[in-house]
Amino acid sequence: MTAMTQRPNLSKHVNELLILARLRVGPAHGYEIALAVERDSNGAFSFQHGTLYPILHRLEQERLIRGSWEGEGRKRKTYQLTTKGEAYLKGEAREVKTLFLNLIRVLEGPAHALG
Amino acid sequence: MPSAESVFRELNARLDLPARRRALLLRELRADFEDLVTTLVAEGLTPEAAQQKAFRLLTPSPDDAGALSGLHRTRYARLVSGYRAARVQVVERVSIGVMAALAVGAPLFALARSSGLPVGTLTVLGVAATFLLANLAWHAFRIVVRDDADADSLARAGMVQAALLGLTLSAGALSVFVDAALTLSSWEAGGGATTIQVAATMTRCAETTALTLGLTILGVFGALALLQWHLSARTVEEELRALLSPTFDPEEE
């Protein structure tokens, strides 16, 4: 209930954080982000049917990431984390961690906590 | 399995956006799609399996295409999205027409009053100049604010601009000629003219000529701007065609 109140669309928020976390490693194209998230999470998280791009472009509009066109011949768009994005990721990661710890505590029950 | 071409064509149809914005989105998505397929094939997947995975990961569903359209809509498009498009366009056209008429009419009226030139003499010049300015302002508005001008309409606008430019120039020259001819004939009938009358006539003709030249310069710059916009729009449309073609080559300029 608390989670629902705090994060009305948790999966969307997690997707945002997954993108930002991948970009913390270094600049990447959209497809590299999609591939890395799926692989690094052992398939637990995956951007199905282009859910990636609306999130990427929204993060770009919010200046949490910066997109730039690069390359010879046909241009490719590369994204990188901004300073604002880095600070946002740090804060949100802390919040999500607390949220999940609380969730686990509830799921495991008071008996487990006492034990 | 559908072809990449058909998937991107469908996506292009779903994106409710001007061509320039659609081209930017499709450029990114198509390049990512092709690069992902190449990467997966290099890692050992068959081309069919690689393409299937790339479709699954990267091509937006109708909902996501809608979300992308929403994100990339211009601020103006968001502002007027609650009104009927046809009604908005009528308001836009009328507003631009009125502004052009005022911008041209005010100096012409002032000229007519200060020089004692009959308003009727300048009517043709005023009408041609109003349409010249309105045509240019309407397409500038479509480029800068609505971001939805297509190459064909800009080519037509360029031709209309050239015709209106000719009409403005002719109307200005005709105004000066008619004014001078009428004044001369009245002097002949009255047995000559004073130096003050000659100077006043010359000043009036010079003012009309200056106004005509000013409008001509504006018209020429407008025609050049329309040509430039037409070429840019054509480049975007060519890129869109290339992005949606079955023989898309990600390395091609």
ipTM: 0.81
Among chain A residues, the shortest Cα distance to B55 is held by A49
Question: Cα separation of B111 and B153, whole Å?
Answer: 35
Looking at the structure, tell me whether residues B57 and B160 fall in a common domain. no
Give the range of the structural domain holding residue B8, as residue numbers without chain letter.
Answer: 4-73
User: What is the CATH architecture of A2-107?
Assistant: Orthogonal Bundle (1.10)
Q: Residues A55-68: what's their mean pLDDT? A: 95
Residue in chain B nearest A34 by alpha carbon:
B57
> Do B36 and B115 share a domain, yes or no?
no
Based on the fold, state whether residues B135 and B53 are members of the same structural domain.
Answer: no
Q: How distant is the Cα of A86 from the closest Cα of chain B, in angstroms?
A: 22
Residues B174 and B223 in one domain: yes
- Give the total residue count for chain B: 253
Calculate mean pLDDT across residues A70-85: 89
- CB contact under 8 Å between B71 and A29, yes or no, is no
- Please check whether residues B190 and B218 belong to one and the same domain: yes
How far is CA B42 from each of CA B1, B35, B39, B45, B227, rounded to the nearest angstrom? 21, 10, 5, 7, 45
**CA B114, B118, B119, B123 torsion-angle sign:** negative
The three-state secondary structure class of A11 is helix
Give A50's contacts in chain B (Cβ within 8 Å): 29, 57-61, 64-65
Task: Say if the Cβ atoms of A75 and B27 lie within 8 Å.
Answer: yes
Per-residue pLDDT of B62-100, as tens digits, reads 888 888 899 998 889 889 988 998 999 999 999 999 999
Assign B183 a pLDDT band (cuts: 50, 70, 90).
confident
Task: Assess whether B53 and B21 both reside in one domain.
Answer: yes
Q: Any idea what the Cα angle at residue B46 is, between residues B42 and B49, rounded to 5°?
A: 110
In a domain, B247, yes or no: no
How far is the C-alpha of B225 from the C-alpha of B144, rounded, in Å? 12
- For residue A3, pLDDT over 60 is answered with no
Best residue of B26, B28, B43 to probe chain A, by most A CBs closer than 10 Å: B28
SS3 B56: helix
Output the pLDDT for position B249: 64
Does residue B40 form part of some domain?
Answer: yes
Using an 8 Å CB-CB cutoff, list chain B residues near A30. 28-29, 32, 58
Answer with the one of B19, B41, B73 that is the final residue of a domain. Answer: B73
Q: Do B65 and B127 belong to one domain? A: no
Task: Look over chain B and give the mean of its residue pLDDT values, rounded to a whole number.
Answer: 86
pLDDT band for position B119 (cuts 50, 70, 90): low
The number of folded domains in chain B is: 2
The pLDDT, as a whole number, for residue B115 is 66
Provide the pLDDT for residue A4.
Answer: 45
B23 with B62, same domain: the answer is: yes
Question: CB of B71 within 8 Å of any CB in chain A?
Answer: yes
More confident residue, A20 or B60: A20
Contact A53 B64 (CB under 8 A): yes
Q: Which of B25, B44, B73 is the last residue of a domain?
A: B73
Residue A4 CB-density burial (10 A; 0-12 exposed, 13-18 middle, 19+ buried):
exposed
Confidence of residue B252 (pLDDT cuts 50, 70, 90): low
Which residue in chain B has the smallest CA separation from A56? B68
Question: Residue B130 above 70 pLDDT?
Answer: yes
Q: What is the pLDDT of residue A90?
A: 93
> Residue B181 and residue B184: Cα distance in Å, rounded?
5
Assess whether B89 and B134 both reside in one domain: yes
Residues B162 and B123 in one domain: yes
Question: Two tokens at B253?
Answer: 């300029």
In a domain, B68, yes or no: yes
Best A19, A45, A49 member to test B by mutation, with max B CBs in 10 Å, is A49
B89 and B181 inside one domain: yes
Structure tokens at B23: 């081209």
B36 assigned to some structural domain: yes
The whole-number pLDDT of residue B41 equals 94
Q: With respect to residue B9, please indicate whether it lies within any of the assigned structural domains.
A: yes
Query: Based on the domain organization, do B59 and B92 belong to the same domain?
Result: no
Distance CA B141, CA B138 (A): 5
Quote the minimal CA–CA distance from A55 to chain B in Å.
9
Domain ranges of chain A: 2-107
Residues of B within 8 A of A76 (CB-CB) are 28, 31-32, 35
Out of B26, B42, B73, pick the residue that ends a domain. B73
Question: Is B227 inside any structural domain?
Answer: yes
